[in-house]
Amino acid sequence: MGEFELIDRHFKPKPAAARLHQATAAPDSIATPVVLGIGDDCALLQPAPGMQLAISTDMLVEGRHFLPDVAPARLGHKALAVNLSDLAACGAEPLACTLALALPPERARDDAWLAALAGGLWALADAQRCPLVGGDTTAGPLNLCLTVFGQVPAGQALRRDGARVGDDVWVSGTLGHARLALGALRGEWTLPPQLLAAARTRLECPTPRIALGLALRGIAHSAADVSDGLAGDLGHILRASAVGACLDAQETMKTIAAGAFSASAEGLFDRQTLLRLALTGGDDYELVFTAPPDARSAVQAAGQASATPLARIGRIEAEPGLRLLGADGRIEPLAARAFDHFAP
């Protein structure tokens, strides 16, 4: 199968999806921003009047961002999910995405693997109304590089540089579960089968918090998505906003020992380890954001409207840096560093 047949067969939207996403001349058609999709030299997008474009790119490299034996449908999902997570962090609504794909020859020949990869990507693309409208395909070591395009009303994007002294620090969902799974897959520790399956789903099938990001527009002062660990990604907000923060260790702990994870994870790991997983785990794709205390009920309403659990874990302070308030009332400094691919 040649390059063009491969694109046509696997990455062009199926007719139902094409109808959903492609703008038509019919006056009663649903407004869709895609004027022209896959097949020409450029895709054409039409953002709504008064909107700014929000653009983000994330690359997934085999061996670095995913294990070679990951299920292809999950890989397709994750490649788009990590990109949508950046749109969520900015409070942007998805418009479309492109995919630059390097495939080793044996993958390019594996029709079932390609169909599953494209199926996983398109399932999330349909669910989040973010169709694939173009890309590039080449031979090479397996690598997926997606770019997402979104829109946000001019001046309303959630940014990293808006945190103010006195803001609450909030985080969505759960933290550390992806790192729990990665450690188990790497043989660093063992997990009971049910816990491993649940943690592995968090690692391989993250949920981009698009609805929450949209609901937080006009409420949150600042936001970032947690891709490299809470301490590091909150650290980005702190530096961009020239402020510091103090996190409550007990509230932060709850974000990892939550739901199905509480009983089993607490039995398996000591509290220090759980806390470290929550703070530095990475690959969570939750949102960390700040909002003033008088917006607490609006934040809770945004969580409810988007069906996203939220936890208030700390406070923005004038003193730079990140600190942790322990159960014993002691405050200790924390490194506010994110995962760095080139760190020595």
Q: How far is the CB of 58 from ligand ADP (least distance, A)?
A: 15
User: Which residue, 138 or 190, has its beta carbon nearer to Mg ion?
Assistant: 138
Q: Give the binding site for ligand ADP (CB under 6 A).
A: 7, 11, 38-41, 99, 101, 132, 134-137
User: Residue 132 binds which entry of Mg ion, ligand ADP, none, with Cβ cut-offs from 5 to 8 Å by kind?
Assistant: ligand ADP
User: Which residue, 132 or 199, has its beta carbon nearer to ligand ADP?
Assistant: 132
Where b means 16+ CB within 10 Å and e means fewer, 23-40 reads beeeeeeeebbbebbbee
Kindly state the number of chain residues that form the binding site for Mg ion, as judged by CB under 5 A. 1
Q: How far is the CB of 131 from Mg ion (least distance, A)?
A: 19
Q: How far is residue 249 from each of residues 24, 235, 328, measured CA to CA in Å?
A: 53, 16, 10
Q: How far is the CB of 10 from ligand ADP (least distance, A)?
A: 8
Residue 88 to residue 289: CA distance in whole angstroms: 11
Q: How far is the CB of 117 from ligand ADP (least distance, A)?
A: 10
User: Which residue, 101 or 249, has its beta carbon nearer to ligand ADP?
Assistant: 101
User: Which residue, 137 or 147, has its beta carbon nearer to ligand ADP?
Assistant: 137
- Interface characters, 114-143, with Mg ion (x: CB under 5 A): ----------------------x-------
Is residue 153 classed as helix, strand or coil in its secondary structure? strand
Query: Is residue 154 within 8 Å of residue 235, measured between CB atoms?
Result: no
**The two three-digit tokens of residue 316, written as one number:** 């923005």
Is residue 122 classed as helix, strand or coil in its secondary structure? helix
User: Residue 332 binds which entry of ligand ADP, Mg ion, none, with Cβ cut-offs from 5 to 8 Å by kind?
Assistant: none
Q: How far is the CB of 100 from Mg ion (least distance, A)?
A: 9
Q: Confirm or reject binding of residue 3 to Mg ion (CB under 5 A).
A: no
Q: How far is residue 168 from each of residues 45, 185, 294, measured CA to CA in Å?
A: 37, 35, 10
User: Which residue, 137 or 201, has its beta carbon nearer to Mg ion?
Assistant: 137
Q: How far is the CB of 210 from ligand ADP (least distance, A)?
A: 21
Is residue 15 classed as helix, strand or coil in its secondary structure? helix
Query: Is residue 89 within 8 Å of residue 228, measured between CB atoms?
Result: no
Where b means 16+ CB within 10 Å and e means fewer, 252-266 reads bbbbbbbeebeeebe
**Which residue's CB comes closest to Mg ion?**
136
Rule CB under 5 A: which residues touch Mg ion? 136
